[in-house]
Structure 1
Amino acid sequence: MKKTDLIKAQLRRTIRRDLWLTLGPAIVLIGIAFAVTFYFVKPAPPKTLVIATPQDEGGFRFYARKYEAILARDGIKLEVRPTKGSVTSIELLADENSGVDVAFVQSGTVSAEKAASVVSLGSLSYVPLWVFYRGEPMEDVRALRGRRISVGPEESGTRSLALTMLKANKVDEAPTQLISLGREESIEQLKQEKLDAVFLVSPAESPAIQKLAAVPGIHVLSFARAEAYTRRFTYLTRHVLPRGVFDLAADVPSQDVTVLAPTANLVAKDTLHPALAYLLLRAASEVHGSAGMLDKTGEFPAPLETGFPLSSEARRYYESGVPLLQRYLPFWAANLVDRLWVMLVPIIAVVVPLFRAVPALFLWRVRSRIVRWYARLKEIELQLDENPDRETLGDMLRRLDEAEREVNRIPMPLSYSENLYYFREHIDVVRRRLLRRLADAPASLEHEAQAVG
């Protein structure tokens, strides 16, 4: 192999070594930065969402079908899991192994202490408490003492609210008969005079409620002390149902009716993915934003009292609206960008500085092979200032030539070869000084001899 080929091979090996010694630590730092960042990157939201829906409360089955269609537009499958009532729905939501993510529930059903991991996404609508009864007109549930009353199915929100009302008035004990029946069966037995009263929780728009209000001999209880109930139970609100609102032609109801209404609420596990929380809130605005018999346009969804703490996503939604990305991008794209923006942190904090530092470090390694020879060059210059004799000057000249030969053998990339030429120029400067000193040395000796004579 030719000498030039050997030199080229050595040059390639040296450059590769310098590159690895320079880039290696940088690659390790970048890897560590991205690994730490990935730890904080939010996972992608699941494609399936499970919602617990009470079957005989608040029109929740109707709402669930609407939510299912809206979420399907963004590629999210809503799986509806029927439950016996709001109590069961909360229990499923509080159970980590149930698989339920969100639920429709009635306010005032379960205290937050019994479901610490449940948060509220907001109230969806007013769902009045209806007390239908037979007999003489009455103004309050106190008049139901000793009657046969259907309070709703076990574990339902209707039953929970009915028992709360009856217990507050001390009407829940004998001789009052409390019977647990479903909505349809309760209505049928009331019509057949097998019951004296039924408690129902259902929207004012419900056809079943409007039909029952028109049955002769059946009355709707108008709460004369509604304001007192709202002060005692903060999850209830007072509403007045105007005369004739159900049927103007038949004048149903025949007088203004004051009702008490809990709210229908959307609650979730506190581990619900933030992107899905915002998607559900957008669906809630679409489904519940219009006006109803008791609701005003844009009144719902709203951060009303539900008995559960409001989630951080819901709080931001009610304060600022939809996140910026979801306003202008499809759901999947907004979620992707929201997850990956965190990756800018290592790029800005680590990659950009290293992008500038690595070339400088590589240059320093290349130049360091030449820089150490400047110490030899400086040593020779200092000796020149000590007025050395001719023999010492000759030795200095040989050392200078040796340094030049060694530096010429240093492998150097072409883009950095100017450093070699700068060093050789400096060597020439010192060499010229040495040669002038050698040329002047004999003359100096003769001058000294004349001075001695």
Structure 2
Amino acid sequence: MSASRSLTRSFRDGPRALLWLALVLSLGLAAYFAVKHFSPAPPKSIVMVTGSPDGAYHQFGLKYQALLKLNGITLTLQPSSGSVENLAQLNAGQADVGFVQGGLGPMATAAHSQLPDFEALEDDEQPNTPLRSLATVAHEPVWIFSRTLRLSDGLGPLKGQRVAVGVAGSGNQKVALELLSSYGVTDSHHHPLEGTTLVSEGGMAAVELLLADQIDALILVASVQSPVVQKLLASDGLRLASLHQAEGLARRLPYFETVVLKRGSVSPLLDRPNKDITLLATTTNLVIQEDLHPALAYLLLEAARQTHRAPSLLARPGEFPNPQGTDFPLAEESARYFKNGRPFLQTYLPFWMANLVQRLVLMALPVLALLLPLIRLLPWLRSWRQSRRIYRHYGELKFLEQDLLSHQLSPEERAQARESLDRIERDVLGTRFPIDFTDRVYTLRQHVELVRRNLARPGPTEP
């Protein structure tokens, strides 16, 4: 009987152990997939493509780099020739984030081609691009400087002159050629007319050429904070064009707007400039890969806010960053950031801790999703187990009664039978049954006592 009891116990405990093992494995797998697919850890380093080392993009990048370093993220800066190269590297997946001049993205291109407003399009009609805008972060005016030419009435006087239009393939050159074409300085294919010489130089190199009278004018697209622009504004003997047709050009080329450099804003002492200057301007887009980790997107947005929120000669305090006028579809993180601010955890916790807590919460959600139905089943499971325990004892009593009725028990078998009855009674007395089981427990104890009395009587074959 000890062998049969051991076998019974193994069948009883085996399914229970398998059930707990399956539950633990299910919870572990659910937590793993939640963390792996819905909240992976952000990478420790990302690449930002900027621009020339003496340009505003690279200076912005240096500030971003320092701010991200405080949060344990390494931002590697990758200089370039400008926005066109930046866009190419982003599209090729060679950089995670970068600055792109307004007018180069698919939404600006579509607007220039008189396509419908992208804000009115359905989701499946949006540009097919792996890139997203986090925000526009600065004005990028078109600065047209010369020494002697009067350009307020237009760029026609640049015919036959030497004009620096920016590095070949840059966004600066694209804008410069489009403006020159609008004024008939170049043809529709951007070939110079009437002896005009286009010089493919930009940045500080073009400034030095102008100051040395080796060119007659330069067209520069750059932020007012750019060291190049600051040097031009501080140089004596240079004229900054204020185009009378600026508003019309902004209507003709929709990625442009107009900004005004107020009289005396550069130097009140020198009355520089000595009149209000109306400038064409585009904006700088902060562009990321669509699959960039959301935590890093929020971190970049916060770095943008700290870098660009200060007022400038052309922007009011807090004007940038903003989600308006982007050349790429706006990232989901940006929409939430500009509506609700920083994520709650990142507001009150360090970046690494906020991300850890968020991942732990997401890991707990599938566990809770599995546990809640189990918790609701617990009362039923407990009742089922208690009923099963009672029925199992009744089964043991039935086997004992059959043994008593079928043959004469030996003294050893009678001792084992008494031990089984005692064990059943101890198990019943030592188990806390619900109140609604009281009648069944009482009946089971009566049956145990009945079998005990029958065991004490002589068997059918005894004299």
Fold shared, TM-score > 0.5 on shorter chain: yes
What displacement does 1:55 show?
0.9
Q: Judge conservation of contact 1:41–1:340 (CA < 8 Å) in 2.
A: no
Residue 373 of structure 2: aligned partner: 353
Aligned letter for 1:77? T
Give 1:228's match in structure 2, choosing from 233, 245, 248.
Answer: 248
Aligned letter for 2:281? A
RMSD (Å), alpha carbons: 3.7
What displacement does 1:360 show?
4.8
Count of equivalent residues: 407
Moved more, 64-73 or 355-364: 355-364
Aligned letter for 2:183? N
Moved more, 67-76 or 136-145: 136-145
Aligned letter for 1:278? Y
Superposition pairs of residues 2-21 of structure 1, within 5 angstroms: 13=10, 16-17=13-14, 19-20=16-17
What displacement does 1:427 show?
3.9
**1:212-257: CA deviations, max 9, x gaps?**
3455543111011111122222322211212222222222222221
**1:146-195: CA deviations, max 9, x gaps?**
32211011122211211121223332232222110132222222223221
State the secondary structure of the residue aligned to 1:368.
Answer: helix
Give 1:148's match in structure 2, choosing from 138, 162, 170.
Answer: 162
State the secondary structure of the residue aligned to 1:291.
Answer: coil
What displacement does 1:23 show?
2.8
Give 2:287's match in structure 1, choosing from 260, 267, 272.
Answer: 267
Q: Judge conservation of contact 2:31–2:364 (CA < 8 Å) in 1.
A: no
**Judging changes above 3 Å, is the alpha-carbon distance between structure 1 residues 227 and 376 closer, same or farther for their aligned structure 2 residues?**
same
Q: Judge conservation of contact 2:139–2:284 (CA < 8 Å) in 1.
A: yes
State the secondary structure of the residue aligned to 1:347.
Answer: helix
Unaligned 5+ residue runs, structure 1?
378-394, 432-453
Aligned letter for 2:207? I
* Structure number with larger C-alpha Rg: 1
**Judging changes above 3 Å, is the alpha-carbon distance between structure 1 residues 370 and 49 closer, same or farther for their aligned structure 2 residues?**
same
Give 1:123's match in structure 2, choosing from 119, 136, 150.
Answer: 136
Q: Judge conservation of contact 1:58–1:106 (CA < 8 Å) in 2.
A: no
Aligned letter for 2:130? S
What displacement does 1:126 show?
1.1
What displacement does 1:143 show?
3.0
Give 2:59's match in structure 1, choosing from 62, 66, 71.
Answer: 62
Q: Judge conservation of contact 1:57–1:202 (CA < 8 Å) in 2.
A: no
Q: Judge conservation of contact 1:369–1:410 (CA < 8 Å) in 2.
A: no
2: CA distance, partners of 1:208 / 1:41:
45
Superposition pairs of residues 86-97 of structure 1, within 5 angstroms: 86-96=83-93
What displacement does 1:142 show?
3.0
**1:34-72: CA deviations, max 9, x gaps?**
455345332111111210011167511221111111111
2: CA distance, partners of 1:195 / 1:429:
117
Residue 100 of structure 2: aligned partner: 105
Superposition pairs of residues 297-446 of structure 1, within 5 angstroms: 297-355=317-375, 357=377, 360-361=380-381, 364-365=384-385, 367-368=387-388, 370-371=390-391, 408=421, 413=427, 415-416=430-431, 421-425=441-445, 427=447
1: CA distance, partners of 2:382 / 2:53:
74
Does residue 94 of structure 2 align to residue 80 of structure 1? no
Unaligned 5+ residue runs, structure 2?
110-126, 187-191, 410-416, 452-463
Moved more, 206-215 or 133-142: 206-215
State the secondary structure of the residue aligned to 2:135.
Answer: strand
2: CA distance, partners of 1:57 / 1:130:
16
